[in-house]
């Protein structure tokens, strides 16, 4: 939503008039600890920004952080909105991403908590998203196009920027963190997937499954942001282990990945700086 993004930027610029972020970040479920590394941190509650508000979800702090992370000026969204929240969720997602664009961001760096469809990537593992499958049966660009941000029809070639992925893989190898590429399949939630759905997604070529990220990537590509995303595996997908899936389990699983994810992101940003 163009007007909401412009109004949000006006509020942010009033609080941080000379700050121009280079990288926008979105931290997924249970992965907000990275925001604690930001220097000269200016924190703004989503409730103070128009059309930023979302229904509170455990593991999402709903705060915007502005500051320096390993030498890079960042605008960090600690918490995101999901389609399963209903109502104006899609409009909120558009406002969040377009605000980052209007602030000056060139790159969108995202995290997400996922279930693994890969037998050799257990909870605690990291997967670099190479491409996506949209099984949300929705697209945030449906409706009147906002020409101020991008064209009516958007190519999703290189949705997850090839050069940034190479850089992330190089960093992971340098610091000794296992990282493999994989395809992210997005489902709307809030239910976890059935065993049959997971078997179908494996047949389609999916490697990890989650309930976010894809709408953000679509909006980001529409307005010209480069995207790189790393998934933190919190559990095996439904039917691939004896675990009964729950949000509590997702948050617990995220703690297994946060140390390596933080090292990876911080080193990546330091190299960018």
Say which of 4, 60, 168, 197 is annotated catalytic.
60
CB 249 within 8 A of CB 243: yes
- Tens of pLDDT, residue by residue over 111-159, are 999 999 999 999 999 999 999 999 999 999 999 999 999 999 999 999 9
Pairing status of strand 107-116 against strand 23-27: parallel
Lowest mean pLDDT among 4-13, 206-215, 247-256: 247-256
Could you confirm whether 84 is annotated as catalytic?
yes
- Tens of pLDDT, residue by residue over 2-38, are 799 999 999 999 999 999 999 999 987 566 678 888 9
Between 51 and 169, the more confident residue is: 169
Could you confirm whether 113 is annotated as catalytic?
yes
Instruction: Read off the pLDDT of each residue in 83-90 and give the average, rounded to a whole number.
Output: 89
Say which of 35, 51, 212, 229 is annotated catalytic.
212
Pairing status of strand 63-69 against strand 72-78: antiparallel
Q: What pLDDT shows up at residue 87?
A: 84
What is the domain range of residue 90?
2-272
Could you confirm whether 212 is annotated as catalytic?
yes
Instruction: Quote the number of domains for the chain.
Output: 1
Say which of 33, 53, 61, 84 is annotated catalytic.
84
At 240, which CATH number?
Answer: 3.40.50.1580
Helices (H) and strands (E) in the chain, counts: 6, 9
Could you confirm whether 112 is annotated as catalytic?
no
Say which of 7, 33, 85, 262 is annotated catalytic.
85
User: Which one, of 242, 238, 250, 234, lies nearest residue 202 by Cα?
Assistant: 238
CB 42 within 8 A of CB 65: yes
Instruction: Read off the pLDDT of each residue in 157-182 and give the average, rounded to a whole number.
Output: 97
pTM for the full predicted model: 0.93
Could you confirm whether 55 is annotated as catalytic?
no
CA diameter of the chain: 52
Tell me the C-alpha distance between 96 and 81, whole Å: 9
Say which of 16, 136, 211, 237 is annotated catalytic.
211
Instruction: Read off the pLDDT of each residue in 258-273 and give the average, rounded to a whole number.
Output: 93
Q: What pLDDT shows up at residue 59?
A: 46
Rg of the Cα atoms in the chain:
17
Say which of 181, 247, 262, 272 is annotated catalytic.
247
Could you confirm whether 172 is annotated as catalytic?
no
Say which of 5, 25, 113, 237 is annotated catalytic.
113
């Amino acid at each position: 939503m163009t007007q909401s993004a412009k109004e949000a930027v006006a509020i942010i610029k009033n609080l941080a008039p000379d700050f121009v972020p280079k990288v926008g970040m979105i931290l997924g479920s249970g992965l907000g600890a990275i925001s604690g590394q930001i220097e000269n941190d200016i924190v703004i509650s989503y409730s103070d920004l128009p059309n930023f508000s979302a229904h509170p979800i455990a593991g999402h702090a709903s705060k915007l952080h502005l500051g320096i992370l390993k030498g890079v000026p960042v605008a960090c969204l600690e918490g995101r909105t999901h389609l399963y929240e209903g109502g104006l969720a899609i409009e909120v997602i558009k406002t969040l991403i377009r605000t980052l664009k209007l602030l000056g961001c060139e790159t969108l760096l995202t995290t997400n908590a996922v279930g693994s469809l890969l037998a050799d990537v257990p909870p605690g593992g990291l997967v670099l998203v190479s491409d996506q499958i949209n099984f949300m049966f929705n697209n945030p660009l449906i409706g009147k196009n906002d020409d101020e941000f991008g064209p009516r029809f958007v190519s999703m070639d290189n949705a997850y920027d090839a050069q940034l992925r190479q850089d992330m893989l190089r960093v992971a190898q340098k610091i000794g963190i296992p990282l493999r590429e994989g395809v992210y399949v997005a489902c709307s939630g809030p239910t976890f997937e059935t065993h049959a759905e997971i078997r179908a997604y494996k047949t389609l070529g999916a490697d990890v499954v989650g309930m976010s990220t894809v709408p953000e990537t679509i909006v980001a590509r529409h307005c010209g942001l480069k995207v790189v995303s790393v998934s933190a595996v919190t559990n095996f997908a439904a039917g691939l282990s004896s675990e009964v899936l729950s949000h509590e389990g997702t948050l617990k699983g995220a703690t297994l990945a946060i140390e390596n994810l933080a090292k990876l992101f911080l080193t990546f940003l330091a190299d960018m700086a």
